[in-house]
Structure 1
């Protein structure tokens, strides 16, 4: 699947969404920073530029909601089978590895 959104646009959109969630639950930046354990300057930088570590991002989602949805979004797809032969064929593949460069 081809995505038309750039990583920098995605970061800004994530920041907008977290800001919207923060406002919808009635938290100030200071309140969210305190409850999440993310430093206030880090939160401000995130809301302005979309720059944040993954750990801090997840801490914010834990407070404003959305952590479960993110985990579900990155969950690997389970294969769907149309016959028992496909199940047996899949069963033989034990390990999958990435290729070395």
Structure 2
């Protein structure tokens, strides 16, 4: 979840939006953005994908071995 929170927060800042502005543009509640950026684990997949869609991404399954290596590298 840490990678997701960093990705969303960094991309949001790159486009120069506050959490409030980003939530409005993504069509989600401000609490959704805050939960994602805080690395909360009890998130709605559809809401996460709605947020990621703003950057042309979606959350999807990857092999566990790959996920473990990716998190070790970063």
Unpaired segments ≥5 residues, structure 2: 63-74
TM-score (norm 2): 0.68
- Give the greater-gyration-radius structure (CA): 1
SS of the residue aligned with 2:38?
A: helix
Q: Distance in 2 between matches of 1:22 and 1:33?
A: 10
Unpaired segments ≥5 residues, structure 1: 1-10, 76-101
TM-score (norm 1): 0.52
Q: How many aligned residue pairs are there?
A: 61
Q: CA RMSD in A?
A: 2.1
Cα offset for 1:66?
3.6
Equivalent pair of 1:18/1:61 in contact (CA under 8 Å): yes
Q: Distance in 1 between matches of 2:30 and 2:39?
A: 14
Cα offset for 1:74?
4.7
Among 9, 33, 58, which residue is 1:19 paired with?
9
